[in-house]
Amino acid sequence: MNDKYLQYEIEDFLTDDSFIAYAKNLDSSNVQYWKDILDEYPELKGIIEEAKRMVNSFQFEKNIPSDTQIDNIWGSIRQKTIENHNDTKLRNIYKIVISAAAAIILIFAITSIIDTGEKIMTARAETNSINLPDNSIVNLNVDSKITYKKATWKKKRLVKLSGEAFFKVQKGKIFVVETPKSFVEVLGTSFNVYDRDSSLDVKCFTGKVRVISKNMMDTILLTPGFAVFQTNGKKLKTYTFDTKEKSIWKDNILAFDNKSLKFVFAELERVFDIHIVAEKSILNRYFTGQIVLKSKRETLENVCWPMHLKYKIEGKTVYITK
Amino acid sequence: MLYINVNSSVENIFMNKDPNWVLFKNGNHNAFEKLYREHMSGLYDYGKRFSIETAIVEDCIQDMFIDLWNKREKLNDVENVKSYLFVTFKRRLIRMLTKKKVFDSIDENNYFDIELSVESIMEKMEMDREKITKLKNAFEKLSKNQQHILYLKFYQGFSNKEISEILQINYQSTRNALTRALTKLKTHFIIFFTLLNFILLTKFF
């Protein structure tokens, strides 16, 4: 039935797609087909072996992208496609009309039922602990805000954050924290997110945390003890920290690793709801160390003493001098 | 009857098609990511054959996928996602390279760069370095077009029909070029294999 193979030269086998699938062991139906041929025409054994070897000897120098490359490029694609997602949909006029009509009906008829999302804010010198619908916990630091939607929570665990918060997430569907500068994606873990002014900082305490920077399109996967920070929209940088050591605001500790006093004072202003006045030459100095948050006076003492600075408290304003 | 109809129409949507492609066209972002992750490495390798500049290849892959997403509603159903992506990607890359004046010839094949890997061949088969080097030299003497076809065939695993689509030449020319290339290389194998067969036979008897 397949007499034609008796006339085959090596190159005829090698131009036959089903033969290559067989030689490379790609799919079972072709493998079976060629095994049957071999049973029927055992005299083909030699040439088929040679052809098979030739297929497998085409080994080229390879260019293999690294996992980071694959992830980074996906990060940029994702950023540009997820954000445009809604725009492209809106191009369709028909859909605009429908959604506008639906919106009007909703606004006038059932305003009370609309899920505008839960919004929780803390003022300066005020922290809060929030239980999310799935019992995940958010510890919200001073002067911060989160929003999330109760109605769609089961489908989408998305929390928008500005400021700083510590998350303890229940296992389940992907949990996303969106901040002005990043997406932080996790499955079930505990981590701290800080996004204020020009700084972003994410620390992973348990589980795995994926940080996607919005402007640099960087993605980094963090495991416990690893953290990432970014200043002024530069590349994400990782560093390590001790997860057992109490080192974050939640434990009433502020740890600074070579941070400007401007940055340190901004933190203190938020924690104690004060206003700190200091000249530029002071603000530009760098500070490394841990500050245990006690009373306003003690804390200021702990910062000023090692830096040889003096402070004077006048109501809500603190003057710091050399 | 109705039940059967419903069933068969569902089947029709996915029949002979990559389900991820169908889902992606319907706006499923996860399916889109799967498509990217499945094909990224193949496209990357293909791109690097035309340009050693990694950034160009990366940009090109990135822009192509962003474009695909934005145009997803207007895209046709394609039978073979991989070859469709390769055609689209190559067109985009060549356009970019021509614009950057990296390319100044009409024949894109002139810039296609590929080498057999002596080390990988030695790993795969018991063949001494000298023989492999001869094979490698013979491969280098093939025309760029033939090398390109062999690459698409044996590295990327495309069928003859897909290769003819990617290279925009007709099916018969593809087959002919492939056969000619293999005939030229064959001698380097035959010498080796007849020797091997001889050894095997003498052992056998």
For A255-291, write each residue's pLDDT tens digit.
Answer: 888 888 999 999 899 888 899 999 988 999 998 888 8
Q: How far apart, in Å, do the first and last CA atoms of chain B sit?
A: 67
Contact B114, A61 (CB under 8 A): yes
Inter-chain residue contact A60 with B117, CB threshold 8 Å: yes
pLDDT at site A295? 83
Tokens of A320: 């710091």
Inter-chain residue contact A57 with B62, CB threshold 8 Å: no
pLDDT at site A139? 92
B178/A contact by beta carbon, under 8 A: yes
Inter-chain residue contact A14 with B151, CB threshold 8 Å: no
pLDDT at site B34? 92
Contact A296, A274 (CB under 8 A): yes
Strand partners, A277: A319
Contacts of B151 (CB under 8 A, 6+ apart): A60, B49, B112, B114
Please give the Cα distance from A104 to A87 (Å, whole number): 20
∠ CA(B135), CA(B138), CA(B141), 5° rounding? Answer: 155
pLDDT score of B4 more than 50: no
- The pLDDT tens digits of the residues spanning B19-55 come to 888 888 888 898 999 999 999 999 999 999 988 788 8
**ipTM, interface predicted TM-score of the complex:** 0.81
A63/B contact by beta carbon, under 8 A: yes
Please give the Cα distance from A67 to A73 (Å, whole number): 10
pLDDT score of B90 more than 90: yes
Contact B150, A58 (CB under 8 A): yes
CATH 3.55.50.30 fits A252-321, yes or no: yes
pLDDT at site B164? 92
Domain A117-240 architecture = Sandwich (2.60)
pLDDT at site A195? 92
Residues of A in contact with B33 (CB under 8 A): 74, 78
Inter-chain residue contact B37 with A70, CB threshold 8 Å: yes
Say if strands A175-178 and A157-168 run parallel, antiparallel, or are unpaired. parallel
Residues of A in contact with B121 (CB under 8 A): 57, 59
Nearest to B180 by CA among B145, B137, B132: B145
Tokens of A104: 């009007």
pLDDT at site B11? 40
Q: How many Cβ pairs closer than 8 A exist between chain A and B?
A: 113
Amino acid at site A280 = K
A71/B contact by beta carbon, under 8 A: no
What percent of chain B shows pLDDT beyond 70? 80
Residue ranges of E strands in B112-186: none
pLDDT at site B38? 93
pLDDT at site B102? 66
Contact A182, A200 (CB under 8 A): yes
Please give the Cα distance from A266 to A264 (Å, whole number): 5
pLDDT at site B103? 65
Residues of B in contact with A79 (CB under 8 A): none
A76/B contact by beta carbon, under 8 A: yes
Tell me phi and psi for residue B143, to 5 degrees.
-70, 155
Residues B125-148: what's their mean pLDDT?
85
Q: Which helix (H) or strand (E) holds A136?
A: none
B141/A contact by beta carbon, under 8 A: no
Closest Cβ opposite residue B160 in set A17, A24, A69: A17
pLDDT at site A115? 55
Residues B78-104: what's their mean pLDDT?
85
A10/B contact by beta carbon, under 8 A: yes
Just give the CATH number of B2-110. 1.10.1740.10
**To the nearest 5 percent, what fractions of chain B are helix, strand and coil?**
80, 0, 20
Local confidence band at B104 (pLDDT 50, 70, 90 cut-offs): low
Domain boundaries, chain A: 3-57, 67-112, 117-240, 252-321
Tokens of B177: 């070029």
Domain boundaries, chain B: 2-110, 115-204
Low-confidence ranges of chain A (pLDDT < 70): 1-2, 83-96, 98, 105-116, 216-217, 246-247
B25/A contact by beta carbon, under 8 A: no
Q: Is the pTM of this model over 0.90?
A: no
CATH 2.40.50.140 fits B115-204, yes or no: no
Please give the Cα distance from A179 to A146 (Å, whole number): 9
Amino acid at site A132 = L
Local confidence band at B7 (pLDDT 50, 70, 90 cut-offs): very low
Inter-chain residue contact B41 with A14, CB threshold 8 Å: no
Residues of B in contact with A81 (CB under 8 A): 29, 32, 65-66, 69-70
Residue B198 or B134, more confident: B134
pLDDT at site B3? 40
- The pLDDT tens digits of the residues spanning B145-155 come to 999 999 999 99
Contacts of A205 (CB under 8 A, 6+ apart): A189, A190, A191, A192, A224, A243
Looking at residue B193, what DSSP letter applies?
Answer: H
Strand partners, A148: A118, A159
B61/A contact by beta carbon, under 8 A: yes
Amino acid at site B38 = E
CB hemisphere CA count around A186 (13 angstroms): 27
Average pLDDT along chain B: 80
A12/B contact by beta carbon, under 8 A: yes
pLDDT at site B204? 45
